[in-house]
Amino acid sequence: MQKRFSFPPLPRTALAIAAAAALALSGCAGSSGSGTPAESYAASGQTGSPSNASSDAASEQARFDAFLAHQFQESVQDDPLSLHFLVRNPENYGITEPEMKFPEYSLEQLQKDSEENAAVLEELSSFDTSLLTSDQLFTYRMMKDTLETEAGSKGLELYNQPLSALIGTQAELPTLLAEYTFYNRADIDHYLALLSQIDTYYKQLAAYEQAQADAGLAPSDDTIDRILKSCKSYLIRPENSLLTETFASRLNAVEGLSNAEKASYKAKHLTILKEHFIPAYTNLSKALESLKGSHPEVGGLSTYEHGREYYAYLAAALTGTDSSVDALKTRIEKQMQADLSEIRVRLKEHPELVRQMTDSAITLSDPDEILQNLQTQIQDDFPALTDTSYTLKYVPEALESSLSPAFFLVPPIDSDGSNTIYINEKASTEQNLYTMLAHEGYPGHLYQSAYFNDREPVPVRRLLACGGYNEGWGLYSELYAYSFDNGLPEAVKPLMRCSEASSYGLYALLDICIHYDGWDLATTTSYLENSYGFTDPESAREIYLAIIDNPGNYLKYYTGYLEILTMRQEAEEVLGNKFNAKSFHQFILNMDGASFRVIKPYFQTWLMTEKLHV
């Protein structure tokens, strides 16, 4: 899981959406960067003539650059936490020092953001795309796709879910605050000012949850209980808090602080934890407790009045696919059957592989050794990068039940290139650590982020990055790692990959069945038992509730992977022995986080170019 600031997934202005969901953003405002592939496609469908390519073109291109820079500034100006993780030196991007507070979260604000989206889309439509450069046109298409997709949420603002057990604001925000880097003394003051606002911010979230309940959209009691369990993880003595653990080391990184100043800062920090942080979680928990009984039915989004409509929007926004929900379901089922069929055929031909699958294991288990190994393994099939450093950290024991198995924190685009990967020892095992670090590290999110920064595209593209693209690449990388030299027998590798892929596919399929088709627990349990041999009803219940809590999340991973896999399969079929994995991966990486709706026409041009020139 790539931690782009997922606090909370709020649709502020279409760009601020991404700002609130982005822990790191990109290059210099107005920079054309390295460009995107398929430049011949850039002018397709446009009506301008070559005679426009002088002063008119230069004027329109300058106006568009100014528009992009303004949108970037507006999107992050009022979100200081996102801003801190996006850029280290905001003044270089024309951004003045913001007021240290969390962005407002309310129904009224979300509705206002929806109106602002429409205004931005109207302004975007004023540009003559025939006069833009190919690189600008790519950004234009990214932004247009994002804004048009977000229009699908208009009138459904109360269906957002800022709180959830695993990836909700209350679970992730403390980790982000703990990673708030102090580059100088001002950063310490900014952090403390922001931390002192957390109770005010959580009060807004509680009011939003109450508004949902008043509209008949409250979460079920079971879901509330799991969120409460997450909150409880942070209701410990401030002296033992994750924030306290990291505060001292962050202070030590600031030059020029005397021991007396450090002691003063520590005392102030502890006071804020006692007077603001603990009350934030205490009051939020009380507010959630009071909502119990508002929605007794345990079920997916389809149990709410406009739930299926919202899920269709969510699927389009999170995955970036151009498939309808029904069509996507068919595609998922088809790929799952292909993977399971490959397993059956191989095992039928070689029964001894059953035992080998059980007995075989990836030999590497030390995280540092794994990451070093992965950097070596990717050299043949993935483009070269500048050197990247990383820091491995472990989720504190008290938070192991509340956080993901692993996640990567994207650094600021103008930082020193350092990267942080968190490992949750409770949720990870030696067996899955290798592929998990391929997902988070190489060639997954760390590599993906470094590649993006090396290209220095316009920063607004980070705000527009599609979750399906990012997590699809992460899952693609995770499954690709089964092909590396990792200690597994060659005959076992494709079986392990297909088995793992079908598991992700199953969760994505159930995501649709539960939230869109309306499956209840009994139907889900029956399906798992009859189709996959799940005999433990408690395991089936855990799967069901995990999907209930996070609509669209599992769908995002697998659909992104499926889109990349589908393009690769087409490229292999068309190019035959001319197919080059490194060239394909470079094309995908050059797409800078665009939705697959935007990528596909570029892919067809890339494929044609490869066929003609390889």
Domains and CATH numbers, the chain: 169-218+221-289 (no CATH), 307-358+491-555 (no CATH), 362-457 (3.30.2010)
> Residue 2 belongs to what H/E stretch?
strand 2-3
What local confidence, expressed as pLDDT, does residue 439 receive? 95
- Cβ atoms of 457 and 33 within 8 Å: the answer is yes
Give CA–CA dist 395/405, Å, rounded: 9
Give CA–CA dist 61/422, Å, rounded: 41
Nearest to 453 by CA among 134, 87, 138: 87
Strands 2-3, 406-409: pairing is: parallel
- Cβ atoms of 246 and 177 within 8 Å: the answer is no
- Is residue 63 exposed (0-12), middle (13-18) or buried (19+ Cβ within 10 Å)? middle
Dihedrals phi, psi of 394, to nearest 5 degrees: -115, 140
Give CA–CA dist 538/132, Å, rounded: 57
Model-level pTM? 0.89
Parts of the chain with a pLDDT under 50: 2-52
User: Would the CA dihedral through 302, 303, 306, 310 be positive or negative?
Assistant: negative
What local confidence, expressed as pLDDT, does residue 69 receive? 94
